Amino acid sequence: MSLRYLGRVSPQSRSIFASCSYLKARPRYRLFHDTSSQKSTTINSSDHHNDHHHHHHIISPGVQSEAAADQSLNTARGNLVEADAHPHSTQYLKAFDNKELFSFLLMGLCTSMNPVLRTCIKVFPYVPISVIKALVYRIYCGGDNIQDVRKTARRLHSRGINNVMISLTIEACEGNDNIDPEYIIDETIESINGILVPHTVEMIETAGKDINDIPSGYVALKPTGFVKNAPHVLKNYRNGEEKAFDELVAKASRACQAVYDANIELAKKYPQRVAPFVVAVIDAEKYDLQPAVYELQRQLYQKFNQMHKPVNVVGTLQMYLSDSANLLAYEEKLANQNNYRLGLKLVRGAYIHSEKARSTVIHKTKQDTDDNYNAGISYCIDSILEPSSKANSSTIGHLVVASHNAESLRLASSKVYSDANVNNKNKNNVVLGQLLGMADEVTYDLIQNNKINNVIKYVPWGPPLETKEYLLRRLEENGDAVKSGNGWTTFKATFNTLMGRLFKSSA
Ligand SMILES: Cc1cc2nc3c(=O)[nH]c(=O)nc-3n(C[C@H](O)[C@H](O)[C@H](O)COP(=O)(O)OP(=O)(O)OC[C@H]3O[C@@H](n4cnc5c(N)ncnc54)[C@H](O)[C@@H]3O)c2cc1C
């Protein structure tokens, strides 16, 4: 499995709340359809079948009226004004231990000036893995074995983060076929039973919250990890690689079955819970692999997401794709036609820099991506929360808002946690997720200042050697953050917090 996409987090998203003025930044909320190309409301399913990239007739999922959308935005704005009253400080640093603060400082130092950064990047491949492990691994990675990841999950719990999305990190990039799909699937299933299930039960039993206030636990499944030569298989899943693709689906199904079985067992013990206990999440890949991944997702939805039951499988949609609003509509239509529920993780999308067809497939501007993302999460949240009296009856059954963007997260949380939804049974079916070691100030603000329960962290884990490349990207990105004013502010605050503690303890 690769963590390539995790390397694409813009400095803006990490730039704390200081840059987040929701009211200033948002010109006008657009409905979930692009006026230029989406006039038609008919859908020709033969055009779409299994390859949304080639469809031309469009249906908008924007079932709400423009007035309703504006109203919902205004409500969200009202809540955000209130939330903005909280100072966006560096308070969150207090939750980290000295070792973690030291690691943040070290990353900050390495990236403080361009020449230093360049040297660090050059030297990094030669730094022994034991040194990396001792110095920075812990702030970005969950560990290299099941026990360590459980400890990480507990550490996160002490910061108010009551569940995790675990992701076994085995690089399976194009050109690198050193993976053993059988090993990956076995380890993944072990991680479900050895990390996710016990951690979720522990949180239910010990966190002192209502059973419906504990977020679900997630296992991320990378489609490229489940078959040898995955990019080739995915690109040709209908063109000679049908058998290999079926094997890939069978492997992913094994992990989903483990999730399904765990949910059935846990529901017997805790029948009052509405949301799933654990969930399998299919990650999104580069554009040319996605038609096959959508097909994989649909087969898994069909098999594991029954009507009127909590969903077991969540698929990913990349909202930077200009066609993503249509795709969401299409997925919802397919689900209705075939009697299954949709689970969705909405991301902006990570492959913008490497996407060859960027000019034709990705939104023209960041603002367009942002508008589309926010419209997408609004639509899904409204849909999930709409049947307020009934649990698990909507077609879109579960949503992970996977983002570091403070505006998007606030939009989502203000909708879910509005006064109108206090007793809504489906609230727990919307969860907000950020990467471990990234956007910690945003995560902190959601939990501590806004009292949001449904926040999780994405925790990559696996052999340290495999995660070295991932750590190198953290180094590069932190360089951007430090160069932007906020990184420097954070660096100074980290330094002061650490010095304050050391000084105090030696006094
Ligand atoms: C829990 C979690 C799981 C994830 N899983 C996946 C996954 O499965 N697949 C995947 O692809 N990514 C995944 N990502 C990464 C995600 O897609 C984003 O790259 C990352 O989160 C940064 O986006 P943001 O929402 O945090 O917001 P921001 O930092 O505000 O937005 C940055 C993003 O905006 C978009 N963007 C930037 N500039 C432009 C432009 N000029 N025009 C159009 N769009 C632009 C890009 O998508 C860029 O990544 C995941 C992220 C998280 C937190």
CATH code for the domain in which residue 402 is found: 3.20.20.220
Is the separation of the CB atoms in 281 and 400 below 8 Å? yes
**pLDDT band at residue 479, thresholds of 50, 70 and 90?**
low
Q: Which residues contact 242 (CB under 8 A, 6 or more apart)?
A: none
CA distance 76 to 433: 19
**Of 38 and 456, more confident:** 456
Of 133-142, 192-201, 284-293, 465-474, which range is least confident?
465-474
A 10 A CB-CB count for 226 gives: 27
In a domain, 421, yes or no: yes
Q: Answer whether residue 50 is part of any domain.
A: no
Cα–Cα distances (Å) from 35 to 58, 329, 333, in that order, read 11, 15, 20
Q: What percent of the chain has pLDDT over 90?
A: 54
State the pLDDT at residue 134.
83
Q: Taking residues 195-224, report their average pLDDT.
A: 96
Ligand 1 site residues (CB inside 6 A) read: 5, 8-10, 12-13, 165, 283-284, 316, 318, 320, 347-352, 362-363, 365-366, 369, 402-405, 433-435, 458
Q: What pLDDT score was predicted for residue 477? A: 62
> Residue 477 falls within a domain, yes or no?
no
Output the CA 92–ligand 1 centroid distance in Å. 23
pLDDT (average), residues 249-272? 98
CB 458 within 8 A of CB 243: no
Question: Is residue 307, in this structure, part of any structural domain at all?
Answer: yes
Measure the CA–CA gap between 423 and 157, rounded to whole angstroms. 25
Nearest-atom number in ligand 1 for the CA of 10 is 29
Q: Which atom of ligand 1 is nearest to the CA of 6?
A: 15
pLDDT, tens digit, 9 for 90 and up, residues 122-156: 888 888 888 888 888 888 899 999 999 999 999 99
Q: What is the pLDDT of residue 205?
A: 97
Is 492 within a domain?
Answer: no
Nearest atom of ligand 1 to the alpha carbon of 368? 43
Instruction: Please give the average per-residue pLDDT across 380-398, as a whole number.
Output: 91
Q: Does 92 map to a domain?
A: no
pLDDT tens track for 401-439? 999 999 999 999 999 999 999 999 999 999 999 999 888
The percent of residues above 70 in pLDDT, for the chain, comes to: 77
> Which pLDDT value is given to residue 505?
64
Give the pLDDT of residue 433. 97
pLDDT of residue 79: 43
- Atom 2 of ligand 1, residue of closest alpha carbon: 402
| Residue 398 is assigned to a structural domain of this protein | yes
Q: Which domain holds residue 340?
A: 4-28+66-87+162-467
- When pLDDT is averaged across residues 351-373 and rounded to a whole number, the result is 92
C-alpha of residue 80 to centroid of ligand 1, in Å: 22
| pLDDT value, residue 42 | 31
Nearest CA to ligand 1 atom 38: 366
Residues in the chain: 507
Q: For a substitution probing ligand 1, which of 347, 367, 371, 432 has the most ligand atoms within 8 Å of its CB?
A: 347
Q: Are 411 and 356 in contact (CB under 8 A)?
A: no
Per-residue pLDDT, averaged over 57-72, amounts to: 39
Q: 471 versus 50: which is more confidently predicted?
A: 471
Q: Is residue 385 part of a domain?
A: yes
**307-338: per-residue pLDDT in tens?**
999 999 999 999 999 999 999 999 999 999 99
Nearest CA to ligand 1 atom 49: 350
Q: Indicate the number of domains in the chain.
A: 1
Name the residue with the closest Cα to ligand 1, atom 17: 349
Q: Is the pLDDT of residue 483 over 60?
A: no
Say what angle helices 114-123 and 464-483 make with each other, to 10 degrees: 170
Probe ligand 1: pick from 2, 6, 10, max atoms within 8 Å of CB? 10
Distance CA 29, CA 24 (A): 12
